[in-house]
Amino acid sequence: MSDAPDPTPRPLDHLAERGAADAPALVLREGTLSYQDLRTRVARMAAWLQAQVPTPGARVASWAAKGELTCLLPLACARAGLVHVPVNPLLKRAQVAHILADSGAELLLGTAARLGTLEDGDVPAACATMTEGDALAAVSAVTQALQPSSADPGDLAAILYTSGSTGRPKGVMLSHANMWLGAVSVAHYLGMASDDVTLAVLPLAFDYGQNQLLCTWYAGGSAVPLDYLFPRDVAKACARHGITTLAAVPPLWVQLAEIDWPPEAVASMRRLTNSGGALTVDLVGDLRRIFPQAMLFPMYGLTEAFRSTYLDPALVESHPTSMGTAIPFAEIIVIDDAGEVAQPGEEGELVHCGPLVAQGYWQDPERSAERFRAAPASSRYGGTAVWSGDRVRRDADGLLYFVGRRDAMIKSAGNRISPQEVEDAAIATGLVAEAVALGVPDDRLGQAVHLVARAAPDAQDAEARLPAALAKQLPTFMQPQAIHWRERLPVNPNGKLDRAAIAREVAA
């Protein structure tokens, strides 16, 4: 990477053109795609998609594990003038039905088993479905190809659904420029090169997961997507493929630190990156012990602005709890409660300005107006900024430190979980009259989901039946780790459930 990253955004599909033609771009179970193969497959997939969904800007959803389809769709949809809507493979039919309806998707591509779980009414009438296998076979039969696009970098390229604290997932709108500059920024500050090999273990429906691929391709390197069952699968893949770059969230790092790493799995590692929660001092020590030659990059981000800060690896030992400083193309301002720029050492809200800021929430102007607001007057970028709701402070050296989260979001195993979504699912079972979902500190998960519930008056065996009922409605990562039953739940002077009092009681 050069001394300064190129700030010029380009159409997202141009990432396929970055690497040397014969260099490996994507290592799959079925074989390796070179960059020339990547260009050919993206061009044909784009032509096929355009024939299937001819309306410019139409949404194409994918619901499948990591593979050729899910890895190539971000570029192919961009080239075809369509908008990709990746769906987390862990979600269940209720969440998928909401995303399909909310996004107005016209095509859903997924594994046969996942599509088979959908019920009548889950897929909108205007949305066609096709299995992953049939789609890939159809793409292989295509003889025509779409050339690299000339799309406006400001055009919408993807909608990533993320949980909100007050209800169902909301779609964050990302432009070509958002995603291109995110790839440029990360490749630059990580110092990635064409001989790098990235093990992509994070879900591709997350911005952090997608960026594993995009920044690697920007650098001309090779990406190895992996859906793992056990932590040792990750270590085996690192050894097999000579992995140089590994990104994870704290709960996975905890598991990886507990296994034995063979020398061949460690030898090639150059860098470790973390986001989705803070690393503990002990965990930092464990990772430095296991990977003594690798640089460790703690990072902070939010889907609405992709990534905000990173900590220079040289400062990890001396400042292990710091969030670091702004990444390239991001401007981070701390605003105090009076609306002024906070002084060093003072607490305030983290405000992210610059070209990585997303375009708002899909068809949700009310919630967009809450989070996407005018940048502070002191911003050099101006325009729209993301007001994160996270409380931070900046020290005299310019390093940022996380203080707390303003909203009620639960961060568990790198997932953002809406308390209301868990509560609504509990009440919808008919077994619960009132419910409050909380995030309780947990060494492995960051936060564990706890549910405090009052049984419905006419419910039979509610305590015994509720876990199974929730298992049908919520994905695994949203399942309560503990359910606390109460005969009554405290209320505040306004008559609303007193969440603060309930949280104190559970924590006691």
Over residues 72-100, the pLDDT tens digits come to 999 999 999 999 999 999 889 989 999 99
Question: Do the Cβ atoms of 183 and 111 come closer than 8 Å?
Answer: no
pLDDT on residue 251 = 76
Q: How confident is the model at residue 235, as a pLDDT?
A: 98
**How far is the CA of 160 from the CAs of 60, 300, 306, 358, 455, in angstroms?**
12, 18, 11, 10, 35
What does DSSP say about strands 24-28 and 31-34: parallel, antiparallel, or unpaired?
Answer: antiparallel
pLDDT of 250 reads: 83
32/48 Cα distance (integer angstroms): 22
- 42: amino acid identity, one letter: V
Mean pLDDT of 397-405: 88
- Topology agreement, domain 1-222 and domain 410-507: no
CB–CB of 419/438 below 8 Å? Answer: yes
d(CA 364, CA 275) in angstroms, rounded, equals 27
CA 79 to chain centre: 22
- Which pLDDT value is given to residue 493? 58
Share of the chain above pLDDT 70, in %: 97
Q: Which residue has the higher pLDDT, 321 or 183?
A: 183
- Identify which has the larger pLDDT, 317 or 276: 317
pLDDT band at 498 (very low <50, low <70, confident <90, very high): confident
Average pLDDT on 483-505 reads 83
pLDDT over 80 at 494, yes or no: no
Write the DSSP symbol of residue 155. S
Question: Confidence band (pLDDT; 50, 70, 90) for 186?
Answer: very high
What DSSP element (H or E) covers 49? helix 35-52
Question: How many residues are listed for the chain in this entry?
Answer: 508
* Rounded Cα gap, residues 248 and 200, in angstroms: 9
Q: What is the pLDDT of residue 282?
A: 83
148 and 11 in contact (C-beta within 8 Å)? yes
| Lookup: tokens for 19 | 């690497």
pTM: 0.87
CA 235 to CA 229: how far, in whole Å? 12
How high is the pLDDT of residue 465? 96
> In the predicted model, is pLDDT for residue 495 greater than 70?
no
Exposure b/e, 365-389, CB count within 10 A at least 16 = b: eeebeebbeebbeebebeebbbbbb
Can you tell me the distance from the alpha carbon of 161 to that of 229, in angstroms, rounded to the nearest whole number?
24
Highest mean pLDDT: which range of 46-55, 156-165, 279-288, 314-323? 46-55
Give me the chain's average pLDDT, please.
Answer: 94
- In this predicted structure, the answer to whether residue 350 has a pLDDT above a threshold of 80 is yes
**pLDDT tens digits along 432-490:** 988 999 999 998 899 999 999 999 988 999 999 999 999 999 999 999 999 999 998 88
How distant is the alpha carbon of residue 368 from its chain centre? 19
Chain centroid to CA 224: how far?
18
Write down the pLDDT at residue 458. Answer: 87
| CATH number listed for the domain at residues 410-507 | 3.30.300.30
Tell me which architecture the domain covering 1-222 has in CATH: 3-Layer(aba) Sandwich (3.40)
Residue 346 CA, distance from chain mean position: 30
Residue 149 phi/psi, 5° resolution?
-75, 165
**Host H or E run for residue 313:** none
Instruction: Kindly list the domain boundaries of the chain, sorted by start residue.
Output: 1-222, 410-507
Tens-place pLDDT, residues 22-63: 999 999 999 999 999 999 999 999 999 999 999 999 999 999
Comparison of pLDDT for 487 and 408, the residue scoring more: 487
Separation of CA 379 from chain center:
26
User: 265-269, 295-299, 369-373, 418-422 — which is least confidently predicted?
Assistant: 418-422
